[in-house]
Amino acid sequence: MPTPSRRFAGLRETGTLCPHCQIELRTGDDTAVCAKCGSSQHWDCWQSSDGCGSYECSTGRRPGPRNGDVLRVSLDDLDQARPLPVSRPTFAVGPIPISLRLDDDRDDSTPRTWNKLAIAALILSLLGAPLFGVPGLIGIVLGAVALAKHSRRQKGLGVAITGLLLGIADCIAWVIVLAFYFEAPGLAISLDEFEPDPAALKQLPPHIARSMAANVLVHSAAEWGRLRGEGLGSGVVLRIKDATALIVTNRHVVDPAFGENNQPDVPALNKMAKLEVKLLGQAAHPASVVWVAPGGIDLALIRVAVTAIEPQAAEWDDVPTLTIGDDVFAVGNPHGLGWSLTRGSLSQMRLNDFSGHETRIIQTSAAINPGNSGGGLYDKAGKLIGINTWTKDKRMAEGLSFAITFTTLLDLAPAEHELRAK
């Protein structure tokens, strides 16, 4: 027997049946290729069988001569052969009895009935809108059951799907409505509860005491039908004249439509939120918006009656000197905690363009939180230098707060408000 070629099975050998074990060769198998017939087989099978196992090389697989009678068939025998009879079915082939048919193969003349569960699901889902959504939940269940049991003999597949989807829509809508309706009333408490300790205010240095007396708490409420949204912000008294205070705050505190896109158009003032403003030493009074800044700049002026003697107007310089590194402090109402003071430094001066209005922005490390919006940022002498407006998400950064410079308000506010006449 010639020596075989030993190799690892490749594409040519893979899938070939080993003539010894009748198992397919796999890629990478140790393979013997017969030099005589070219047959591929496992190397171990070649060794154990001492040679090639193919039909051509293995003489033991060839049929040997037979002893005994040999059956011979002549041409005459083939001519006399007759075909076998065709087997017949045991029953006649004909229409399948009606009792053996599937339901889906019934005659079209059979009337189709309505799926009553589908109809009930649709009706209950429609009732779920005015009836607090509970029928909508039942409609979802009935719609799902109707779909599961629906047959082609029934009408109402679309009705079941519609009832199911309407029920889901009912539930989602009522969840949203109830979320607004029963929203935590943390902002809906009386503003009279935010009065600071008078004894603590008397111990303050004059420049801080004046800044505290100029701070106000602004409560805004907007309604959309039965839905109501509320918020708390801050403001700074700029002038007190004829028992009326002129206050600066952020536009987003008083305008519910002023969102992240900062609409540049000046809206109708009668469409602003309903406002109540609490000044130091007096109860909350209704307030009105008298001006909003153009170009989407987040500033607004409001007016409110003054009945107490404690409120004072803030002080400022028309042309302040702002230097990076200066000490500053902020006064406002973070999270509704009225008349709170935080300290920091002037981190940087930045520029921002609002629809063609170049605006200077103060970056400060003083802590600014929700509720500080519209409050004052002061230099170390207690002079108003900015209106606190933005803060970075505290989950990502600390000490990144921003205020619009007060000179921006001086440049934009109409002369009738007499802000430069101080």
Residues of the chain predicted below pLDDT 50 = 96, 98-105, 184-189
Nearest to 4 by CA among 55, 54, 60: 54
3-state secondary structure the chain: CCCCEEEECCCCCCCCECCCCCCECCCCCEEEECCCCCCEEEHHHHHHHCCCCCCCCCHHHCCCCCCCCCCCCCHHHHHCCCCCCCCCCCCCCCCCCHHHCCHHHCCCCCCCEECHHHHHHHHHHHHCCCCCCHHHHHHHHHHHHHHHHCCCCEECHHHHHHHHHHHHHHHHHHHHHHHHHCCCHHHCCCHHHHCCCHHHHHCCCHHHHHHHHHEEEEEEEEEECCEEEEEEEEEEEEEEECCEEEEEECHHHHCCCCCCCCCCCCCCHHHCCEEEEECCCCCCEEEEEEEECCCCCCCEEEEEECCCCCCCCCECCCCCCCCCCCEEEEEECHHHCCCEEEEEEEEEEEEEEECCEEEEEEEECCCCCCCCCCCEEEECCCEEEEEEEEECCCCCCCCCEEEEEHHHHHHHCCHHHCCCCC
Cα three-residue angle 354-320-406, rounded to 5 degrees: 35
- pLDDT at 67 (0 to 100): 57
- pLDDT at 263 (0 to 100): 60
- pLDDT at 214 (0 to 100): 96
Q: Which two tokens stand for residue 79?
A: 């001519």
Name every residue whose Cβ is closer than 8 Å to that of residue 77 and which is 6 or more positions away in sequence: none
The verdict on pTM exceeding 0.75 is no
CA distance 158 to 160: 5
- pLDDT at 88 (0 to 100): 59
Where do the structural domains in the chain lie, given as residue ranges?
5-61, 116-181, 191-417
CATH number of 191-417: 2.40.10.120
